[in-house]
Structures are given as structure tokens and as C-alpha cells.
Amino acid sequence: MIELIDTYWLYFLVGQYPHGPLGGLALTLILAVLGLLFAFPLGLVFGIARVSPWRSVRWPVSALIQIVRGTPLLMVVFWAYFFLPSLTGQNTDQFWTMLVALVVFDAAYLAEIIRAGIQALGKGQTESARSLGFSYLVAMRLVILPQVVRNMLPSLVNQFVSTIKETSLGYIIGLTEVSFIATQINTQVLTRPAEVYLLLGLTYFILCFGLSRFAFWLERHLQQRTMAKAHA
């Protein structure tokens, strides 16, 4: 495996870049980061809508979220791959197709994380803010959401872990993320598939396990800060 890493490490990390398109592990991380960043504001809006006192807002958003969460990401990727060109009139490349699919999918899950965070605070927080003269939206922006976002940081890290693994589905549309690059390396060496895919598995494991431990540490740190403030 050392020889394999020594020969293909740069290709595994960045694909053909700078002599071709960026790929490999770098593309996987960029796609995961952008997917989560673009999904967050959409998930935030959906999450607030999920607890809205207005049924005309709450019900359609709830139905949309349940449809997306009940659909495999593979199907969302296919829909994006075939629907976007018909909508825009132009062929959409694999990167933007996968990014749109990740944003839609992650936004639905982030909306549920935000909804759970808002409901975990209890109605007393909102009622107290409303009693001070704040409107519902102002109370949500100034009082509720700052607490929710802080408390949901561990869940955001865990969602990032899931997004990293979800990028591997870009393989089916020819996106040169890290699992696609691993397959290309395997076709070149032919006789060492176990080593190639073991390296791929270790890469995913190191990334995801490291982030999971960070989420665990962050959760404990936030709990300790909350307890310290409660005893102060």
C-alpha cells in the first residue's frame, strides 16, 4: 500500500489539477462544505416555518420536508441531473448537479434539526420575548435563534459527516470525487483492488471519525458551559 500511496497520492488528493479539473479528496471536501453552507440558510427558513403559528406556512413546508426526507438521495441526484437542464435549457455539469442535490437534501434535515432545537427551548422563551413587545419574527431572530444555533453546533458537525459520505453518490453521474478517483486508480493497477478500496475506506473513516469525535467534544463543552452559567 505504501507504494500505491507514493505513486498516486497527488491524483487521489486533487485529481488532474492543475493540468485538468479538480477532483479527488479536495473536491469531496469542497462539495461537502459548500453543500452544508448553502443548505443552512434554506434549512433555517424551513425550520422556522415548521414551527410557525400560521398553517398556510407550516403545512406546505412540512409536506415538502417529509417528501425530501422520505426520498433516497440517489433519486434526488437523478432528479437534479435530468430536471435542471430542462429548467435552465443548458446542460448542467456534474458538480453543480450534485451540489444542488446536496443542498436540497441537507436543507430538509437541517430544518428538522432547527425545528427540534426551537421546540427544545420551550414556549416560555418566545412568550417572554413577546411580552416585551417583540413581534414573532423579531423574537425568533433576537432571542430564539441565537440559542438554537449555539446548541445545534454538534448536530451541524454530524450533518457535515453525513454530507461527506453522501458526496460519494456523485460517482453515478461521473463526478470525479474521491471514490470515483479510487475506481480510476483501480483500473490502472488492476491487481490491487483490496488495497485501493482499503485506502478509500480509511480516508472516509479518518475524516468521519475525527469529525464525530469533534462533535462529541463540542457537545460536552457546551454542556459544561451551560452548567457553569447555571451555577454562577
Contacts of 102 (CB under 8 A, 6+ apart): 31, 32, 35, 36, 39, 163, 166, 167
Residue 33 pLDDT > 90: yes
Q: Looking at residue 36, which CATH number applies to its domain?
A: 1.10.3720.10
Q: Which of 45-54, 114-123, 137-146 has the highest mean pLDDT?
A: 45-54
Q: Which of 33-42, 43-52, 135-144 has the highest mean pLDDT?
A: 33-42
User: Considering its fold, how many domains does the chain have in total?
Assistant: 1
For the chain, the distance separating the N- and C-terminal CA atoms, rounded to the nearest angstrom, is: 55
Which domain covers residue 205, as residue numbers? 2-231
What is the reported pLDDT for 230?
60
Residue 226 pLDDT > 70: no
Q: What size, in residues, is the chain?
A: 232
| pTM: predicted TM-score of the whole model, two decimal places | 0.86
What is the reported pLDDT for 10?
85
Mean pLDDT of 50-72: 89
The angle that helices 24-50 and 178-189 make with each other, rounded to 10 degrees, is 150
Distance (Å, whole) CA 226 – CA 151:
10
Mean pLDDT of 13-39: 90
Mean pLDDT of 109-127: 82
